[in-house]
Chains A and B, each alone.
Chain A
Amino acid sequence: MENCGCITCDAATKELYEKAKNEGIETVWDRARAMQPQCGFGEMGLCCTNCGMGPCRIVKVSKDGPQAGICGATEDTIVARNFARSVAAGAAAHSDHGRDIALALYHVDDKARIKDEEKLFKLADEWGITVEGKDTVQVAKEVAEKALGEFGKVFGNLLFLKRAPEKRIKLWEETGVASEAIDKEIVRVLHSTHMGCDADYRNIIRQAIRAAMTDGWGGSMIGTELSDILFGTPMPKKVEANLGVLKKEYVNIVVHGHEPTLSEAIVVAARDPELVELAKKQGAEGINVAGMCCTGNEIAMRHGIPMAGNFFQQELAIMTGAVEAMIVDVQCIMPSLATITKCYHTKLITTSPKAKIPGATHIEFDEQKSFEIAKRIVKEAVMNFKNRKGEVHIPDEKSEGRIGYSLEAIIKTLDRVTNTHAHPSGTVKPLVDAIKSGVLRGAVAIVGCNNHKQPHDSCHVTLAKELLKRDILVVTTGCGAHACVKAGLMSDDARKYCGKGLATVCELLDIPPVLHMGSCVDISRILVLLSEVAKYIGGDISDLPVAAAAPEWMSEKAQAIGLYAVASGVYVLLGVAPAVTGSENVATYLTKDIESVFGGRFEIESDPVKAAEKIAAHIENKRKRLGI
């Protein structure tokens, strides 16, 4: 796909971007332009600042420049170290998120706050916690304790690794990537990438994998499982998406960030009759909560709260002039929000001690007093309604879709096509049969962020459409999910993009062809689904005709996700090259040789049409090997 020069394929984004230009307000695209040309050393991963002798850089274009760092680190070492540190940071972000959820569960003192008791007891069982004679709160506490132990336990491997197919577990053990405690693995990356430690790029990447694994099979999985226990396991529901979900006559609250502990409390507080009354007194018709990025995904999946937009729309939301408060916690929150909110009445409210922004109002969130604090925050927003200035400009753009496809929801949906006289229920058999028979060719997870190096949303959407027409089912999370729902790919109407096989499946199951499986930590749901399918066919994840793609990724979290997916046996296509191109060895290892070890590998392809072709070829290849 030739880049048409558009910054986005989303109409609401285009509209507000124009408004920003006219008003001279700087956005992410302007800053990206100002940054050009970006530094080649950094882009290739060849710059090292790991010690006071540096910064060092490796010069590739001529033989005369330095070919090693001052300590003697080669390009392979430097590139691998930088990559590993990014992965560790990503794993740290997701894992700390998981830890907070576990803490929230630990502090639950009332059974009523556990929304999925069944899942709690199932997890207790999985973890060998005896439940007899214990009440729900006690079990919750013990499960939370066990989860918290995963972060710092002294001995033993990650508990959730056991969820993988047997062959995979064995492979991890043999290759030395069966991770131990979460924090330990992340610390080890930081240790071994310190000056004068690990210089063997393969060994550095091996440790990076261990850290990445503590994300997917550790922190993220804990985050997802315990969030479901606390707030309910998502089930299919309708949702509206895009900036058009903001309502002119209402107090608009945008929750942005990642952790559902905060957003769940805000959702409840915004329904408080007292606050709604107060909003009416201020001249508003009511309170409208909308979500952004992953926290938006979380409350949309569980409550159908409208999805305001994804990563690149956070600044634009404020520019509608209709947002009374943007409430944020952690991760992917652009510090520029503080600058933009100054031009409007919008209050930027930070809530986490881990993420403060100069210029924002800080109201610290405390899980113990969640409702009280949430009410205080919502009140701030309500009282801010009067302060609106200038025209309100909400783009008339929103789409509808069906979301809420947790693993449990998917299996329940699959039961629709089982024959009660011939088949078991509650298994992945129908999905396996659809794939084995060839009705579905395979499945692909489209995940990840927005990045100015790709036109906004366009790569997510184009890639999804290209896959749908090849009878490839798409599951999605994160900002990719926002892109897909906005583009209408989660509506029944999206069947028109599908090949006959996929369209038939959608009709029989009454599902959209793109399944929203949640936030970025919810990629752990995909890991479990893959494991279930692999176990059902008696194989390994790497045998399956599946792939993952992050066509517009940007965060370190995305790099951690990519690496744990590869280590789990998945072919991972990246639309933006990570900073590893400075080392041919590292680049070749990650995109080629690593496949012979883990069965998964990275592929770099920025053109979404070509990306779809590569993915389809990969899938057909896997089918051939399975003889299906």
Chain B
Amino acid sequence: MTLFDIIFTGSKQALEAAKAAVDSAIEKKGSDAKVAFPETAYSLPTIYAATGKKIGNLGELRDVLSIVESLIVPEQNLEKALNAGLATALSAEIIEACKYAVEEKPYSEPCAGFISDAVIRSLGVPLVTGDIPGVAVVIGEAPSVEEAAKIIKNYQNKGLLVCLVGKIIDQAIEGKVKVGLELRVVPLGYDVTSVIHVVTVAIRAALIFGAVPPGNLEELLKYTRERVPAFVNALGPLSELVVSAGAGAIALGFPVITDQDVQEVPHFLITQKDYDKIVPTSLEARGIKIKITEVPIPVGFAAAFEGERVRKED
């Protein structure tokens, strides 16, 4: 299967899952039931930023499915592949929104789930000014608890914000990584779709700090590409769904570094099988340069975490 076909397949799977989630939520709650993430003024941020539409109830959410569907055009070119990746991101948001529509509190310790506007406002400034030098999104499962802890702590030591999705969360805890927002290690959730909660951080940064008008997808992607220094580490076996979510990350300008054999894409999709090199590979791929000498992990936010983002060739 070509790389693009894997992406299209994953995007279709995500769409099917989103459809099923909406159907089951409507069955349980009815199409008038309210849909919202907690403590945000940006409705469902991905959908809002991409389409300009605020979603109020499950019926409206169902209408978004056709937009997602229209983004999946299985033609063999990058444009269509990236669109399919965005479709997966939208599907993920739909699925996550359904969780919040059906359950009172879908996420519990240690998982954060949706991240509130207030947190973004506090994170956003150091993020866009470079005080937090980058955002590492680690998805999947490392080969061992030790490797997982080593990678996460390495990012943590460098002052990056680390978001965890999947089994890596348990590995982190087992590996005695202290987690929590103030420690800049945030377990999001165990389902792949919970990765959308870090995506919406980037998207709300664009809406809040970049004043990107909702519905202007092109400007949104430009902002995230240029201003949000995020990247993805996809560890362990990759499903089609994860690959298509990766295409979504690439559409936002975030490179994906994996320990798996994939067809590499220059700059954007890189295989690194040496776990000791995952961190430097990722930082270089995103053009993140750490200025200061490393210091042991501090408690809370430390001003010592000064980072600078520069392009590789500078």
Measured CB to CB, the residues of A under 8 A from B are 414, 416-423, 430, 433-434, 436-439, 441, 470-471, 499-501, 504-505, 508, 620, 623, 627-628
Contact = CB atoms under 8 A, between A and B. Distances in A.
Given A430-B266, A438-B78, A500-B77, 7 more contacts: A418-B266, A419-B284, A437-B264, A438-B2, A500-B79, A501-B77, A504-B78
B263 A433 contact: yes
Interface class of chain B by DSSP: mixed
Contacts of A441: 76-77
Nearest to A505: B266
A438 B271 contact: no
Nearest to B280: A421
B269 A437 contact: yes
Which of B76, B82, B264, B267 has the largest count of A CB atoms less than 10 A from its CB?
B267
B150 to A, nearest CB: 16
Given A433-B264, A433-B266, A437-B263, A422 B76 contact: no
Contact of A422 (B4, B82, B263, B277): B277
B270 A419 contact: yes
Contacts of A439: 78, 265-266
Interface in B248-270: 257, 263-267, 269-270
A471 B4 CA distance: 14
B23 to A, nearest CB: 33
A438 B266 contact: no
Contact of B313 (A416, A471, A620): A416
B281 A422 contact: yes
B3 interface: yes
Interface string B77-118: 111011000000000000000000000000000000000000
Interface size on B, as a range, is 20 to 34
A422 B266 contact: no
Nearest to A627: B2
Nearest to B264: A433
Given A421-B284, A441-B77, A499-B79, A436 B263 contact: yes
A437 B281 contact: no
A438 B81 contact: yes
Contacts, number: 73
B13 interface: no
B285 interface: yes
B264 A500 contact: no
A471 B78 contact: yes
Given A436-B263, A499-B78, A500-B77, A422 B271 contact: yes
Interface string B270-314: 111000010011001100000000000000000000000000110
13 contacts: A414-B266, A418-B266, A419-B284, A421-B281, A422-B272, A437-B265, A437-B269, A441-B76, A441-B77, A499-B78, A500-B78, A500-B79, A627-B2
Given A437-B265, A439-B265, A508-B266, A421 B272 contact: yes
B77 A417 contact: no
Contacts of A436: 3, 263
B250 to A, nearest CB: 10
B159 to A, nearest CB: 20
A23 to B, nearest CB: 50
Contacts of B280: 421
A417 B269 CA distance: 11
Contacts of B76: 438, 441, 620, 623
Given A421-B280, A422-B270, A434 B265 contact: yes
Given A422-B281, A438-B4, A433 B265 contact: yes
Contacts of A438: 2-4, 76-78, 81
Contacts of B269: 437
Nearest to A420: B284
Contacts of B312: 416
Listed from nearest, the 8 A-B pairs whose CB atoms lie closest are: A501-B78, A500-B79, A417-B266, A421-B281, A430-B266, A437-B265, A417-B267, A421-B280
Contacts of A434: 265-266
A470 B75 CA distance: 11
A437 B284 contact: no
Contacts of B2: 438, 627-628
Nearest to A438: B4
Nearest to A620: B76
Contacts of B78: 438-439, 471, 499-501, 504
B127 to A, nearest CB: 23
B267 A508 contact: yes
A438 B6 CA distance: 12
Contacts of A500: 77-79, 82
B85 to A, nearest CB: 12
A623 B280 CA distance: 34
B58 to A, nearest CB: 34
Nearest to A434: B266
A421 B77 CA distance: 28
A505 B313 CA distance: 17
A71 to B, nearest CB: 54
A231 B4 CA distance: 44
A134 B1 CA distance: 55
Contacts of A471: 77-78
A421 B277 contact: yes
Contacts of B266: 414, 417-418, 430, 433-434, 439, 505, 508
B221 to A, nearest CB: 11
Contacts of A422: 257, 270-272, 277, 281
A419 B313 contact: no
A471 B81 CA distance: 13
A468 to B, nearest CB: 12
A166 B4 CA distance: 31
A433 B269 CA distance: 10
A425 to B, nearest CB: 12
Contacts of B271: 422
Interface in B1-34: 2-4
A499 to B, nearest CB: 6
A612 to B, nearest CB: 15
Contacts of B257: 422
Interface string B49-83: 00000000000000000000000000011110110
Contacts of B265: 433-434, 437, 439
Nearest to B83: A500
Which of A416, A439, A471, A627 has the largest count of B CB atoms less than 10 A from its CB?
A439
B95 to A, nearest CB: 27
A51 to B, nearest CB: 55
Contact of A499 (B77, B270, B272, B284): B77
A501 B79 contact: yes
A545 to B, nearest CB: 11
A439 B81 CA distance: 9
A416 B287 CA distance: 12
B176 to A, nearest CB: 27
Contacts of A433: 263-266
B260 to A, nearest CB: 13
A387 to B, nearest CB: 51
A418 to B, nearest CB: 8
Contacts of A623: 76
A148 B82 CA distance: 53
Nearest to B277: A421
Nearest to A471: B77
Nearest to B80: A500
